[in-house]
Structure 1
Amino acid sequence: MADSFTLDTTPCGTVEVAYVVNGPIETNTYFVISGDEAVVIDPAWDGEELARSFAAAHPGVRIRAIVCTHGHADHVGGVAGLRKALPEIEYLLPAEDVATVETNIARQRTWGIETPDPGEPTRLVHEGDVITVGSARLQAIATPGHTPGGMVYFCAIDQGPIAFVGDTLFPGSHGRTDLAGGDEVAIIRSLRRLGQLLPSATSCLVGHGPSTTIERELATNPFMR
């Protein structure tokens, strides 16, 4: 069956991307800034401190939304604190990962990690949804496998395309599939689909560790061939 999803790769707007590595599993938390607006992607831990440090570094910029690539505890652990610090903020979670949050928080508890409950999302994300921030647009692409509802958020901007890939893609590899809801066949299908959909110049900002590009992964990642 043909892929009916259409990705808009026309450059639109500009962004600045800032990030911090935080939480017990060293998650990359990204701040996507455009004009006087920002969204935070995958706040891993201590959301109140994330809000304070961002405000100090970027006066006059309002964080309008939390956007999660998937429902694992190490990617939603800072949601509760951000919502406490910024009561008007939206919390966006992939629709298919609602059950994943509670399950994975319980799993991490067995590892000695207690994660604050993020609460109910204010918006559920489906493939094709667009999240605006200033002059830029984040387009949601469904990438099941690491979790049932995993999303990649693609942003075509004047500086060149970028994608926030969560734990779907790592340099030369992919996210683990041995946790509840993981599916090895699905994640490989998702990776190959990303290789077809995203421009080769796309910078891929990953959930843990260094970034990569689609061009590099098509050349070196065996799971994308």
Structure 2
Amino acid sequence: MLELDVEPKGHVRVEAVVTGPLETNVYFLISNGEAVVIDPAWDGGRLARVFAEQHPGVQVKAIVCTHGHADHVGGVAGMKRALGGDVPFALAAADAPAIEANIAYQRRMWGIEVEDPGAPDRLLHEGDVIQVGEASLQVIETPGHTPGGIVLFAATEDGDVAFVGDTLFPGSHGRTDLEGGSEGEILASLSKIAELLPPGTRCYIGHGPSTTIARELATNPFMRR
């Protein structure tokens, strides 16, 4: 199994914006004058402009999506344009082929339209690291909600943090009845992060409030499995 680096490195600040008709959480991880944007869902251009106004001098180093569903990648294209186009878009390799189909499914099922982000600039795999300032985001593969779902973990001087997308919800887990979903795989992924992540890890969720690994181990029946 993957061995995480749990030695605290650097200071970070996490900021969240809720956006879009499915109320997706967009996260900004800021460290030492640099930032990574996680799951820009809608209004990517506006999000980038507001962030620049509020954080002059902070450079966005990457846009990373925890999975390829349209409500998590829909703001990527607009954000890249607003940032100048050189900021890389990173996504798990297993989800990259399904972006267009996911956007079409969302349009068909809910009448929601988003812009195609195009092909990722970086394909992520288990064990990859995304450096932002003093912090290191480590990639953990967590299939189940989608084939290429990932969790991004960082051990920092301000505590351990993980961006879990739609793999984990407080007391539950993400849907597995969509194309590419698997109940067996998501249960295995929850067991994996229960074993890998320190109990105090603050988990930032794709939709809704954050939680901790300790809380989920105590209250989430899917984690206890």
TM-score of the superposition, structure 2-length normalised?
A: 0.97
Distance (whole Å) between structure 2 residues aligned to residue 24 and residue 60 of structure 1: 31
Q: Does 1:65 align with 2:52?
A: no
Partner residue in 2 for 1:153: 152
Partner residue in 1 for 2:50: 53
Q: Give the AA of the match of 2:4.
A: L
CA deviations 1:104-140 (Å, max 9, x no partner) are 1001111211110101111000000000000000000
Secondary structure at the counterpart of residue 50 of structure 1: helix
1:7 to 4, 9, 26: 4
Q: Give the AA of the match of 2:131.
A: T
Question: RMSD in angstroms over aligned alpha carbons?
Answer: 0.6
1:94 to 72, 92, 95: 92
Partner residue in 1 for 2:105: 107
Deviation of 1:99 (Å): 2.1
User: Size of the alignment, in residue pairs?
Assistant: 222
1:43 to 40, 45, 57: 40
Q: Give the AA of the match of 2:192.
A: R
1:83 to 70, 80, 83: 80
Contact 1:100 1:147 in 2 (8 A): no
Partner residue in 1 for 2:192: 193
Tell me which moved more, 100-109 or 143-152.
Answer: 100-109
Q: Does 1:130 align with 2:129?
A: yes
Unaligned runs of 5+ residues in structure 2 are none
CA deviations 1:121-169 (Å, max 9, x no partner) are 1100000000000000000000000000100000000011010000000
Deviation of 1:100 (Å): 2.5
Q: Give the AA of the match of 1:130.
A: V
Distance (whole Å) between structure 2 residues aligned to residue 64 and residue 213 of structure 1: 27
Runs of 4+ in 1 over 6 A off after TM superposition: none
Deviation of 1:35 (Å): 1.2
Distance (whole Å) between structure 2 residues aligned to residue 117 and residue 196 of structure 1: 35
Partner residue in 2 for 1:216: 215
Unaligned runs of 5+ residues in structure 1 are none
Distance (whole Å) between structure 1 residues aligned to residue 137 and residue 10 of structure 2: 11
Distance (whole Å) between structure 2 residues aligned to residue 205 and residue 114 of structure 1: 25
